[in-house]
């Protein structure tokens, strides 16, 4: 093969992590994406990551995803090409990619509920090809990309595609965390830790982190938890009640997604408190309305809308939010199978977020 041909080839194919149901992924050659709509952009990925949702896909929990889909919904890259109606970006711009695709026009978008966009939502690595590849097509590019300020490092920025907005919006904002509040976060995985980091933007007096894994609780301490409670010994409720002088907590953030952890939230919430559900639940839970009907409590659920990404970018740029704290491991894109292994064995590997670089 001549060099010219090689170049041409590089220009039309790319490496990408492809899903084969029910539970296999492989790094394969795929055609490079091209502009389809006037509002599209093509982005060359330089940094991406793996989300807990990607593991769910591999377990068969998202059965709508077809064979051949490229996974991934997080990323930083360089704009390669834009459609004729794209206003805010041009070739060469360094950008952050949002997990959420949104048209900016429908009634849900007008309310800021971008996750429910009638022409978008969580599409990347789900209903369309995603970011665990050398290139990705971004629909409605003006609404799905953000210019990366020079001061913000790629690794920090990738934390703003999905994990930090999820912790902030589904946990902290749904929990209405305020200065002086007592907050408990149940689950110290990446999204619980993202809630922990972003809760501090609202200055609660105390943040109690709860988990089964002492290692993760120790990490939580270094990220700002003022108290930690291991939930494995059956005394967690007593401990929280003692820490709050029997008042209970103002905000309980459920960051696991199972009945037992939801139960903890119900048990420790103070009158007037807010329960914010971040976890993805596979089955129903028992809600103790026979007790809570009179407690003036609020329970809120939500998909991440990623509407806070611009604000989080400002906070990272100003040095007030250290997003990189969530990064535990770094790999090349060519090592992505190893990265998946590491992330899938997070507890053993002491893994939080893994970074993939092109």
Residues whose CB falls within 8 Å of the CB of residue 72, separated by 6 or more in sequence, listed in order: 17, 48, 49, 50, 51, 54, 124, 125, 130, 131, 132, 133, 136
Q: Closest separation between CB of residue 80 and its own copies, Å?
A: 20
In whole angstroms, the minimum distance from the beta carbon of 72 to its own copies comes to: 20
Write the DSSP string, 19-70.
Answer: EETTTEEEEEEEEPP---STT-EEEEEEEEE--HHHHHHHTT--TTPPTT-B
Closest-CA residue to 56 (of 349, 332, 343): 343
Q: How far is the CB of 234 from its own copies (least distance, A)?
A: 21
Minimum CB distance to its own copies, residue 45 (Å): 22
Nearer to its own copies, 58 or 177 (CB): 177
Residue 264 CA to residue 214 CA, distance in Å, equals 18
In the complex, least distance from residue 215 CB atom to its own copies, rounded to whole angstroms: 25
Phi first, then psi: what are they for 348, rounded to 5°?
-65, -40
Q: Which is nearer to its own copies, 75 or 175 (CB)?
A: 175
Closest separation in Å from C-beta 271 to its own copies: 5
Q: Which class for 133: exposed (0-12), middle (13-18), buried (19 or more C-beta within 10 A)?
A: buried
Between 174 and 231, whose beta carbon lies closer to its own copies?
174
Nearer to its own copies, 147 or 237 (CB): 147
Nearer to its own copies, 307 or 325 (CB): 307
Q: How far is the CB of 178 from its own copies (least distance, A)?
A: 8
Backbone angles phi and psi of 71, in degrees to 5: -85, 175
Which lies closer to its own copies via its Cβ, residue 239 or residue 266? 266
CA 249 to chain CA centroid, nearest Å = 25
Radius of gyration in angstroms for the set of CA atoms belonging to the chain, rounded to a whole number: 21
Q: Residue 115 or residue 161: which is nearer to its own copies going by CB?
A: 115
């Amino acid at each position: 093969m001549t060099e010219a041909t090689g170049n041409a080839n590089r220009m039309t194919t790319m490496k990408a992590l492809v899903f084969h149901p029910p539970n296999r992924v492989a790094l394969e050659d795929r055609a490079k994406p091209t502009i389809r709509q006037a509002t599209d952009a093509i982005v060359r990925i330089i940094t991406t990551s793996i989300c807990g949702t990607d593991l769910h896909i591999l377990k068969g929990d998202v059965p709508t995803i077809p064979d051949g889909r490229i996974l991934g919904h997080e990323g930083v890259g360089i704009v390669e090409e834009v459609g004729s109606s794209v206003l805010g970006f041009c070739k060469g711009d360094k950008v952050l990619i949002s997990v959420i695709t949104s048209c900016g026009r429908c009634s849900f978008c007008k309310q800021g509920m971008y996750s429910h966009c009638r022409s978008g939502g969580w599409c990347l690595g789900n209903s369309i090809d995603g970011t665990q590849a050398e290139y990705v097509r971004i629909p409605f590019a003006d609404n799905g990309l953000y210019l990366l300020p020079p001061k913000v490092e790629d690794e920090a920025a990738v934390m703003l595609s999905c994990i930090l907005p999820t912790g902030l919006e589904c946990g902290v904002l749904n929990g209405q965390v305020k200065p002086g509040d007592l907050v408990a976060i149940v689950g110290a995985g990446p999204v619980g830790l993202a809630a922990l980091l972003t809760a501090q933007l609202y200055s609660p007096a105390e943040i109690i982190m709860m988990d089964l894994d002492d290692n993760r609780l120790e990490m939580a301490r270094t990220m700002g938890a003022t108290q930690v409670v291991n939930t494995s010994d059956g005394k967690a409720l007593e401990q929280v009640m003692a820490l709050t002088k029997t008042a209970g907590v103002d905000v309980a953030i459920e960051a696991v997604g199972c009945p037992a952890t939801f139960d903890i939230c119900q048990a420790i919430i103070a009158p007037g408190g807010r329960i914010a559900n971040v976890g993805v639940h596979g089955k129903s839970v028992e809600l103790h309305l026979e007790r809570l009907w009179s407690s003036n409590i609020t329970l809120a659920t939500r998909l991440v809308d990623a509407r806070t990404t611009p604000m989080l970018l400002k906070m990272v740029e100003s040095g007030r939010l250290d997003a990189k704290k969530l990064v535990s491991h770094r790999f090349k894109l060519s090592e992505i199978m190893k990265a998946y292994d590491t992330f899938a064995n997070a507890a053993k590997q002491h893994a939080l977020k893994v970074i993939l670089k092109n």
